[in-house]
Structure 1
């Protein structure tokens, strides 16, 4: 059986377990409860431990690890605090570009925490604290530290995002990476009638439920609707000549037209080569292929509509 490194022995003292569970970060109150004021002061004076900021101590003298910075943020925010938003989603495995950003923490909105006014240590990133009055048990995720569930994390992150595009990208990323299914996003929304961008989040989840699992594909589907073009089927499975399963971004079965939307990942040489092989397989099968860079959907949508209409008409669409 695998056991975590540095796991205390079964007969270890309560303090040893607390230090292990909180990655070596304690509140002064927790430390005093186990050591007394003089015991805590003695460990700090001997530089066995160090004071991180008012009310928070570390059981080591080295720089804070990523996990320790999360514990500092949660312990500073108070007893009901959870990691939230993008911070919680990333802890749950979400991959999302855009920099680390501040540590996002969610606290009970009915209480006031004077600890939040304390000055953070210099070796910590910024901290963003949000309050909520809605926290059902299903929105809590067990972790170290505790965090909100993936669906709740994505909804909050989209509501707190800097732009509508970023909000849509967050929802799309969660669905694309299979961290959550659209129904879970919609279920979390039902608990949060006042969340910012509620309609946008619901629309992004609905688009993802229809197969649009990247922001560029969501924009593409909306472009087709806006210009009354027939809607495509998204993320269609197809086996190549080697028997491997490939996914087509957008495909019209009736007219055998395939549209590939090239995002930033297509700049990678290996992705580019794989896309060319997939494209050749589709051409060999007799389909038409159009390729568009993702940014063109927003910058020059009319150009895409003209080419797409021409390809559909050439394939027999009456218009």
Structure 2
């Protein structure tokens, strides 16, 4: 952090991770001095109108600043890049940096302007960006709710769109109510039906894509909807969450992701499964792959277990 006697340029370089626009630079230095710094290699030009102090590999923060500054006035970081800047964790196979600009502006094509080593930048225009959907930051960005809604619109594939919404709620970065409010402020969003249904499932307790898939499987095959993320205290006094639970029929379902294959998780799952049986409930376990790719088989076993426990369609 710059000291008390630091110049305005020092603070600007610090706050913007070493990335400046040309206009910012010449407000602090003369145009001749800026050109000298570029010519001598102490600074570099990232693209027209965007400069970087120093050289070397680009940090994530520098990539974000370069994208926003290159997009021009009133641009804000958006989509998955903005959600990650707000603390969202995870990988979705989407590395482009999305930037929003007002609709009346011509969106510059930055896909080929930025140098090698920088991710692709997609400048998107929006007619609606309410003040409540903007957030101050380094750089300014859309709020977590708006960022996730936009990410779900722009993601390649419906599964990834649902996953990013579920991750935001699972990681406690946003609530279903906040997502719903952000969606309602958009005029005609892409994947509106999918996003709206996903938010409803998240509001019902689902916190992972596998749980959303299970709820939709039950709806599709005429099975009763389970209670999701049911809280139960184990023999050690710790609170555990059941993936899906039909309390009336004493049926518990676990949907196992990849982490359940690890030895320490596997052993813990077996102990929890034994406790459920001891307490008198039935338990079924499926992989997330089976729920998504073998729905007939999963629905058949669910129907059989519910019927055996007394359920009648």
TM-score bracket, shorter-length normalisation: over 0.9
> Which is further off, 264-273 or 199-208?
264-273
Partner of residue 290, structure 1:
284
Note if 1:97 corresponds to 2:91. Answer: yes
Query: CA–CA distance in 2 between the matches of 1:313 and 1:71?
Result: 58
| Residue 117 of structure 1: how far off its partner (Å) | 7.3
Out of 71, 76, 82, the residue aligned to residue 77 of structure 1 is 71
Note if 1:198 corresponds to 2:155. Answer: no
Query: CA–CA distance in 2 between the matches of 1:79 and 1:114?
Result: 11
Count of aligned residue pairs for this structure pair:
313
Are the counterparts in 2 of residues 89 and 154 from structure 1 also a CA contact under 8 Å? yes
TM-score (ref. length: structure 1): 0.94
Are the counterparts in 2 of residues 78 and 115 from structure 1 also a CA contact under 8 Å? no
Query: CA–CA distance in 2 between the matches of 1:74 and 1:86?
Result: 14
SS of residue matched to 1:254: helix
- What value does the CA root-mean-square deviation take over the aligned residues? 1.6
Partner of residue 4, structure 1:
none
Query: CA–CA distance in 1 between the matches of 2:255 and 2:155?
Result: 24
Gaps of 5+ in 1: 1-6
Note if 1:309 corresponds to 2:311. Answer: no
The CA deviation string for residues 131-175 of structure 1, in whole angstroms up to 9 with x for no partner, is: 101111111122211111000001001111111221111111111
Query: CA–CA distance in 2 between the matches of 1:126 and 1:115?
Result: 10
Note if 1:182 corresponds to 2:176. Answer: yes
SS of residue matched to 1:51: strand
| Residue 288 of structure 1: how far off its partner (Å) | 0.7
Q: Give the direction of change, closer, same or farther, for the CA distance of 1:200–1:156 in structure 2 (3 Å limit).
A: same
Partner of residue 141, structure 2:
147
> Which is further off, 260-269 or 138-147?
260-269
Out of 271, 285, 301, the residue aligned to residue 277 of structure 1 is 271
Partner of residue 47, structure 1:
41
Out of 26, 47, 55, the residue aligned to residue 32 of structure 1 is 26
Partner of residue 80, structure 2:
86
SS of residue matched to 2:2: coil
Query: CA–CA distance in 1 between the matches of 2:5 and 2:38?
Result: 26
| Residue 11 of structure 1: how far off its partner (Å) | 3.7
Partner of residue 65, structure 1:
59
Q: Give the direction of change, closer, same or farther, for the CA distance of 1:113–1:304 in structure 2 (3 Å limit).
A: closer
| Residue 262 of structure 1: how far off its partner (Å) | 0.9
| Residue 100 of structure 1: how far off its partner (Å) | 4.8
SS of residue matched to 2:160: helix
Partner of residue 121, structure 1:
115
| Residue 44 of structure 1: how far off its partner (Å) | 2.1
Gaps of 5+ in 2: none
Write out aligned runs for 1:156-175 (5 A).
Answer: 156-175=150-169
> Which is further off, 121-130 or 96-105?
96-105
